[in-house]
Amino acid sequence: MATRMTKLLLILSHGGTALLGFALGIYLLPILVEPAAPDLMAVEATLTTPLFTTEFERQREDSDALHWGEGQLRLYSDTIIFEGELAPGPDYRLYLTQEFVETEAGFLALKDRSIEIGAVKTFDGFVLNHAFAVNDPRYTTAVVWCETFGQFISSGQYRP
Phi-psi label, residue 151: left if phi above 0, alpha if psi -120 to 50, beta otherwise: beta
- Residue 90 confidence (pLDDT) above 90: no
- Residue 12: what pLDDT? 81
What's the angle, vertex CA 23, arms to CA 154 and CA 110, rounded to 5?
A: 30
Tens of pLDDT, residue by residue over 110-139, are 999 999 999 999 999 999 998 777 889 999
> How do 69-75 and 52-56 pair as beta strands?
antiparallel
Measure the CA–CA gap between 125 and 89, rounded to whole angstroms.
Answer: 14
Closest CA to 111 of 96, 89, 90: 96
Look at the alpha carbons of 156, 129, 95, 134 in this order and tell me if their dihedral is positive or negative.
Answer: positive
| Mean local confidence (pLDDT), 98-116 | 96
Residue boundaries of the structural domains of the chain: 1-33, 40-157
Question: Taking a C-beta distance cutoff of 8 angstroms, is the pair 79, 127 a contact?
Answer: yes
Closest CA to 86 of 122, 36, 38: 122
Look at the alpha carbons of 58, 62, 65, 69 in this order and tell me if their dihedral is positive or negative.
Answer: negative
Closest CA to 89 of 40, 18, 148: 148
Tens of pLDDT, residue by residue over 21-72, are 666 666 655 555 556 666 767 777 778 899 999 999 999 999 998 899 999 9
